[in-house]
Structure 1
Amino acid sequence: MKVALLTDCYLPRLGGIEVQTHDLAAHLRARGHEVEVFTATPGPHGERHGAVEDVDGVPVHRMALRLPWELPVNPLAPPEVRRRLRGGGFDVAHVHMGVVSPFATDLAGVALGLGLPTAITWHCLMGRSQPVFRALGHARRWGRRGAALSAVSGLAAAGVQAVVGDAAQVRVLPNGIDVAAWAPPVGRMPRGGGPVRVVAAMRFAARKRPGAVLEIARAARSRVASAVDLHVDLFGDGPERRRLEQYIARHGMGTWVSLPGRVSRDELRSHYWASDVYMTPARLEAFGIAALEARTAGLPVLARADTGVSDFVTDGVNGVLGRDDDALASALAALVTDTDLRRRIADENSTVAPAQSWAAVAALAESEYHRAGAS
């Protein structure tokens, strides 16, 4: 098949949709498909206005405008994208939706208007935006026109289904992971001795709740004996960094909490292998790619139960799921003090691969394309 991936955001921006769309393109190509990407994100050297750039063997159509903060928005793009889709010999379009995706929304209409089989995947939780999505009616109309609708987790799919109603069935098309790349080295055993190392990784943006990492860690620290040695590494960067630094200084946490900054995926993986627990307090987590990476790396995962993380973390088996921040603090205290619990979960995660391998996810994507009507 020849597949058009339509997305507001793409590399060189870094985020869940950007990285996952890039990796999906690579794995579809490995399965023998042709893939091209259409995005409103400019290229690394300012490529925009329809310039086509090769990114790891995939043609990327940079339909970006010159806008403040490089916003991935282009209401002028549909006519040109329509022309390129019509003349490009595509078999299917795959639209990737975020919380606010004006470019992808426009292009979903373009693809369906051309009669092109269209799959549409939501990478977000609709949550409080459900009434807005319901009033706009896009998702319901797309379903009635035959689009194959999906979302990245069961929780996210339930939110889309509530908006779509009986217009279409919303399935789960999860994010994928390279299991071999993230799995811990053969023979690696859970750490023993030294401080219990807790790690978290995220953008330092309010919706990711990096401040909650520090609050939960501080609450857990107060619930364990002072003789227990605990260290927290919070990786990432963003607008909340200054506030995090102030919180650490105000509460005297500098001796056991560090902010190493943003690191590469290879460096982060090495840090996971040298740590004991992964924590994510995010509430608006449709899936949780970083948590899946940590779970694949063998770490017990501490997360909220009301997020997409529950698709690949079973409470007490792959980690601990809590209903709120207080429950997460109690769970972290238990993981820090209970070596046997940590080692049992780490052994499970090190030896049992998650179901979201890229081989499985790429096959599910193909099934969505066939469901949409692609030959």
Structure 2
Amino acid sequence: MADWRRHRILMVSDFFYPNFGGVESHIYYLSQCLLELGHKVVVMTHAYANRSGVRYMTGGLKVYYIPWKPFLMQNTLPTFYGTLPIIRNILIREKISLVHGHQAFSTLCHEALMHARTMGYKVVFTDHSLYGFADIGSIHMNKVLQFTLADVSQAICVSHTSKENTVLRSSLPPAKVFVIPNAVDTAMFTPAPERLKSDEIVIVVISRLVYRKGADLLVEVIPEVCRLFPQVRFIVGGDGPKRVRLEEMREKHSLQDRVEMLGAVPHARVRSVLISGHIFLNSSLTEAFCIAILEAASCGLLTVSTRVGGVPEVLPDDMVVLAEPDPVDMVRAIKKAIALLPRIDPQEMHARMKKLYDWRDVARRTEIVYDRALKCSNQNLLDRLSRYLSCGSWAGKLFCLVMIIDFLFWCLLKLLQPAADIEEVPDMVQFHHQDEEILMDDSQHQSSR
């Protein structure tokens, strides 16, 4: 029976639905568009609360919520070899040809890519974040990334700044790294049909209220903007440890009627919050790309953002006002944005975003990376160990030991449970017939053609 699918992809990350964020959105929308292009896509992530086992999402997207619980910032506890049996089972059951891991901070991603290479699968990695080089956490993470990417087939970054950062951190050859930006679902993020006439200017902030997202900057910027512009009001959506500081700032300056704190905003409500404003404020101290800026621009908001990471690459100059991550410069940028507001046409901005960013274009460009990854030559264990050995005088030897044990464990699993004993699941194909969605397995699809 001929295989009508071009690629059979396993997406792996600790970050996926029901969580919502940049990585989660990227995996979901990319998977949906790859399904539309005729590829098979399966997602693997850890269990969330009572969400465990196999689930199906829109478009027939199959998700394995494996029974591993997160222990820190939605990450699973590193096990090195504990995930090998279940990952091997999924790869064989779903007849996967390529494994695509997301996010350098994801434990599950690193382990899946390690096991996949041991089993001879081609692997692709997408980095969504920027990391430093000096603090203890960054040094540790960079060494882990160097280990994972030592034997990766191809890598993807979401901005040119992110590519430079990843290449420096992992010592990966630049020719192996592709830049494919994020996108936005412009059908979901549309401007209000007509903005209410008012002298009031609303500045919207939707972000995790943590240090990395510049919450401390907001504490200094908001009172000064409110003092300079009596017609300005703020809406702050998001939650986190820095929310207390914002609440204290609001009390100290008596801004209860001008700073509205919404708390955590469900993804389904983000558009309704955005279209109530005129300016979107992003105060991040580090950012590889920032999908939130795309969502705001798609809703017709003028953006004011810190000039960090890949942010300057995201929008054309007439859609964004950039500032240094400094309270004085951010107030200056907001003043400039207020002066530019009369020239902003939300509908025209939305139309431009539809042309600039499209998840289908992201999927087509990712296809090219998959094609290149599958053309990479297969290497035996000794050849692969030489790559790990080059990762450092002591780290290289440690990495080699980890991979040798992983290889021996895989050989043991093949003896205890041969691949022939693992049942392959039929592929579910989704068709639309009039107003009904029809799911049939691949054998039915072949016989119906």
Query: Equivalent residue of 1:352, what SS?
Result: helix
CA shift at 1:257, angstroms? 0.7
Rounded Cα–Cα distance in structure 2 between residues aligned with 1:237 and 1:162: 33
- By how many angstroms is 1:192 displaced? 4.2
Q: 1:171 to 1:65 in 2, by over 3 A?
A: same
Deviation of 1:201 after TM superposition, in Å, equals 0.3
**TM-superposed deviation, 1:351:** 3.6
2:77 to 45, 62, 73: 73
RMSD: 2.5
Structure 1 residue 185: Cα displacement: 5.2
Aligned mate of 1:102, from 103, 107, 111: 107
1:357 aligns with 2:358: yes
Q: Which residue of 1 aligns with 2:341?
A: 342
Q: What does residue range 1-375 of structure 1 map to in structure 2 within 5 Å? A: 1-40=7-46, 42-47=47-52, 51-56=53-58, 57-66=60-69, 68=71, 71-73=75-77, 75=79, 76-98=82-104, 100-128=105-133, 131-136=139-144, 138-139=145-146, 142=149, 145=151, 147-165=153-171, 167-169=173-175, 170-184=177-191, 188=194, 192-224=197-229, 228-315=230-317, 317-325=318-326, 326-336=328-338, 338=339, 341-346=340-345, 349-353=349-353, 355-373=356-374
Deviations 1:240-297 (A, max 9, x none): 3333212210121112111122333343213322311000101121211111100111
Cα deviation for residue 102 of structure 1 reads 1.9
C-alpha contact (below 8 Å) 1:248/1:254 kept by paired residues: yes
| Secondary structure in 1 matching 2:9 | strand
TM-aligned CA deviation for residue 67 of structure 1: 5.7
CA contact (8 A) 2:125 2:152 kept: no
Per mean C-alpha deviation after superposition, the further-off stretch among 115-124 and 57-66 is 57-66
Determine helix, strand or coil for the equivalent of 1:180.
coil
Q: What is the CA distance between 1:332 and its match in structure 2?
A: 0.7
CA displacement 1:4-28 (0-9 Å, x = unmatched): 0011222122322123212222222
Write the distance in 2 (CA, Å) between the matches of 1:311 and 1:154.
8
Counterparts in 2 of 1:352 and 1:67: CA distance versus 1, 3 Å: closer
Q: Whole-Å Cα distance in 2 between the matches of residues 204 and 243 of structure 1? A: 10
Shift, 1:139, TM fit: 3.5
Residue 191 (structure 1) shift:
5.8
Q: CA deviation at 1:165?
A: 3.8
Tell me, in whole angstroms, the C-alpha distance in 2 between the residues paired with 1:320 and 1:191.
Answer: 24
1:67 and 1:370 map into 2 onto residues whose CA distance is 33
Q: Is the Cα contact below 8 Å between 2:75 and 2:106 reproduced in 1?
A: no
List 4+ stretches of structure 1 deviating above 6 A: none
How far apart, CA to CA, are the structure 2 residues paired with 1:306 and 1:66?
33
Q: Which deviates more from structure 2 when the two are superposed, residues 211-220 or residues 364-373?
A: 211-220
1:174 is matched by which residue type in structure 2?
P
Whole-angstrom distance in 1 between the partners of 2:261 and 2:162 = 31
- Structure showing greater radius of gyration is 2
> Which structure 1 residue ranges, 5 or more long, are not aligned?
none
CA contact (8 A) 1:92 1:374 kept: no
Alignment partners' CA distance in 2, 1:334 and 1:223: 13
Q: In 2, distance between residues paired with 1:32 and 1:374? A: 20
Q: Residues 134 and 236 (structure 1 numbering): CA distance in 2 closer, same or farther, change over 3 Å?
A: closer
SS of 2:76's partner is: coil
**C-alpha contact (below 8 Å) 1:93/1:118 kept by paired residues:** yes
Q: Aligned pair in 2 of structure 1 residues 239, 55: CA closer, same or farther (>3 Å)?
A: farther
Query: Partners in 1 of 2:370 and 2:288 — Cα distance?
Result: 22
Give the Cα separation in 1 of the matches to 2:350 and 2:25.
24
Cα distance in structure 1, aligned partners of 2:267 and 2:70: 29
* Cα distance in 1 for residues equivalent to 2:29 and 2:247: 34
